């Protein structure tokens, strides 16, 4: 799969997950897809300060992303 197609698919997965995070007062934004297939995101709102945000990111967002797109290595939160 080419890089542009993979990026579009990553963004689509994030868009599908956003309502669940928004329901808890948080949000997520796509920042970039690295050359080694790591997805960098930014967490907003309640997700930015929640002590469980790492668990949500890894057990929720990353797991869902890897199920749909197995070529993704990880999803990482980046603080801007």
Domain of 33: which CATH number? 3.30.300.130
Task: Compute the distance between CA of residue 66 and CA of residue 27 in angstroms, rounded to an integer.
Answer: 19
Q: What is the pLDDT of residue 64?
A: 95
Task: Compute the distance between CA of residue 46 and CA of residue 9 in angstroms, rounded to an integer.
Answer: 25
Q: What is the pLDDT of residue 80?
A: 60
Which residues form the domain of 53?
3-77
The strand pairing partners of 32, in sequence order, are: 40
Q: Output the tens digit of pLDDT for each of the chain's 80 residues.
A: 899 999 999 999 999 999 999 998 989 999 999 999 999 999 998 877 777 788 888 889 999 999 999 999 999 999 76
CA-CA distances (angstroms) from residue 1 to 7, 15, 44? 10, 20, 30
Q: What is the pLDDT of residue 56?
A: 86
Q: What is the pLDDT of residue 37?
A: 97
Overall number of domains in the chain: 1
> pTM of this prediction?
0.91
Structure tokens, 29: 């934004």
């Amino acid at each position: 799969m080419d890089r542009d197609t993979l990026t579009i698919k990553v963004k689509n997965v994030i868009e599908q997950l956003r309502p669940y995070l928004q329901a808890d007062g948080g949000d997520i934004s796509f920042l970039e897809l690295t050359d080694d297939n790591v997805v960098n995101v930014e967490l907003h709102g309640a997700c930015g300060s929640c002590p469980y945000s790492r668990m949500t990111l890894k057990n929720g967002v990353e797991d869902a992303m890897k199920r749909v797109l197995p070529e993704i290595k990880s999803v990482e939160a980046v603080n801007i």
